[in-house]
Amino acid sequence: MNSSYKKINQQDVDQLIQIAGKENIKFKDDIHEKYSHDELGTAISYPEVVVLATDKFVVQKVMQYAYEETIPVTVRGAGTGLVGGAVPVLGGILLDMTPMNKILELDKTNLTLTVQPGVKLYEIYECVEPEGLFYAPDPGQKLASIGGNISTNAGGMRAIKYGTTREWVRALEVVTPKGELLTFGSKVVKNSTGYGLKDLIIGSEGTLAVIVTATLKLIPKPRFSKSLLVAFENREKAIEASPRLIKDYVLPTAVEFFEKQALGYSEAFFGKTIENDHFNAYLLLSYDANDEEALNRDLAYVEKLVLKEYGALEAFVVDAQSKRSNIWNVRGGFLEAIKASSDFIDECDVVLPRSNISEFFAHVRKVSEEMNVRIPYFGHIGDGNLHIYLCKDNVSDEEWKERVKEGFDRLYSKAFELGGLVSGEHGIGLAKKSYMHKLLGDEQLMLMRGIKQVFDPKYILNPKKIV
């Protein structure tokens, strides 16, 4: 920890102007409100100065200056985070990486895409898919920057089959808090060359180094993809079917779970729902393949399986031609719909072993009833990553604070008891620190703090986050 950070003065601003150019420095009234928060909304703090990062050498010089002067630096991508990870809680410099938004190289021999960190997720798909290539991670928020995705090890819908962002990063070029420019990994497929520094940066939420270039792994794009919407009588039956669907036959790319309530939010706030929205619980399965006939056979088999053996009530094939092709849109809008339903929400993206999800959801209902708090939810049930929302619903700020604390305490305690972890994909940031500390204990925390110290001895990079 460091209690003697320097406050930014005019001289610092002048130096930063020298480094980054006048047009890329925002100071005082020029600082946009968006820089004071992310999508969490409840953590608000303004930076003292904003630097628009235009290239890696600017980042390097900014870090060298900040290190020398002991000024806190917080890195920000698209600002779509949900745990306050990009909020400059101690002021200082905010490094806005969004101007570094170039796709640098699509290498069709080594199947890699090299990008700057400000490139948005949807831009990656748009770049590679027309070439018949595939970047598999599929987090819900397509406007997020790839730098942010890497910093939180974002997961998304297709993690069951394709893993999380971690598995899709071949190399990272970073600037350390001291201002060194280093490359961890390379375009190669395998690497057993010393400690996994690349993997340490992934998921470190901008606390160890600033990502300035990322080289992503690509594969040939599966030619065909279809979904199956399966309706169940109740939550338990849907949840019970999920691990069997993953084990018994071909691996799905996604197994999403939602109940009637989530469709209700979508209808109320977007006017969007699906055909056959009267069932209590749903699994939305996705499969991909290179061979359409084989894919059709797989779907037919799974359809029979869910109806005959897993107690499903109905199963509908969803393809581009079908009337239900909007289902992924509806699913993609759940978070926005829930957000729209309350003045504030706070989120728990707990992750559990598949075997314990049913018990956990029962606990969520119980907490909701006992505390009289609205707690809508849905989840990437195939990978055990649930999204659970506490809604403020116009109670006082003070009451809300207490409710969040009690609600989270009760949810996380149960999750830990059931072998779960604090975060499946959104990270720890500011909002989930205390729960992580509780789960992992002092020894692991000391290891993490030790690592932080190795990278960032003056504790200037994204202070107060994670450790």
Structure tokens at 276: 């056959």
- Provide the minimum distance between the beta carbon of 179 and a second copy in the complex, in angstroms, as a whole number: 10
Interior/surface letters 191-212, b for 16+ CB within 10 angstroms, e for the rest: eeeeeebbbbbbbbbbbbbbbb
Q: What is the spatial distance between Cα 461 and Cα 205, in angstroms, rounded to a whole number?
A: 10
- Provide the minimum distance between the beta carbon of 109 and a second copy in the complex, in angstroms, as a whole number: 4
Query: Pick from 329, 248, 328, 237: which is nearest to 284 by CA?
Result: 328
What is the pairing mode between strands 169-175 and 181-185?
antiparallel
Nearer to a second copy, 33 or 443 (CB): 443
- Provide the minimum distance between the beta carbon of 194 and a second copy in the complex, in angstroms, as a whole number: 5
| Alpha-helical segments (H) within 309-378 | 327-332, 334-340, 357-371
Nearer to a second copy, 232 or 265 (CB): 232
Nearer to a second copy, 47 or 177 (CB): 177
Nearer to a second copy, 2 or 355 (CB): 355
Query: Pick from 152, 168, 170, 141: which is nearest to 207 by CA?
Result: 152
- Placement of tokens 């720890």 in the chain: 428
Nearer to a second copy, 146 or 154 (CB): 154
Q: For the sheet containing 112-115, what is the strand order?
A: 103-107, 112-115, 210-217, 169-175, 181-185
Query: Pick from 389, 384, 280, 269: which is nearest to 337 by CA?
Result: 269
- Cα separation values, 127 from 102, 105, 135, Å: 11, 10, 10
Nearer to a second copy, 324 or 464 (CB): 464
Nearer to a second copy, 158 or 339 (CB): 158
- Provide the minimum distance between the beta carbon of 155 and a second copy in the complex, in angstroms, as a whole number: 4
Q: What angle do CA 294, 296, 301 make, to 5 degrees?
A: 95
- Provide the minimum distance between the beta carbon of 14 and a second copy in the complex, in angstroms, as a whole number: 29
- Placement of tokens 């290539």 in the chain: 133
Q: Which helix (DSSP H) or strand (DSSP E) does residue 125 occupy?
A: helix 121-128
- Provide the minimum distance between the beta carbon of 447 and a second copy in the complex, in angstroms, as a whole number: 6
- Provide the minimum distance between the beta carbon of 449 and a second copy in the complex, in angstroms, as a whole number: 9
| Contact present, 381 and 353 (Cβ < 8 Å) | no
Q: What is the spatial distance between Cα 250 and Cα 247, in angstroms, rounded to a whole number?
A: 8
- Placement of tokens 């700057």 in the chain: 116
Nearer to a second copy, 17 or 181 (CB): 181
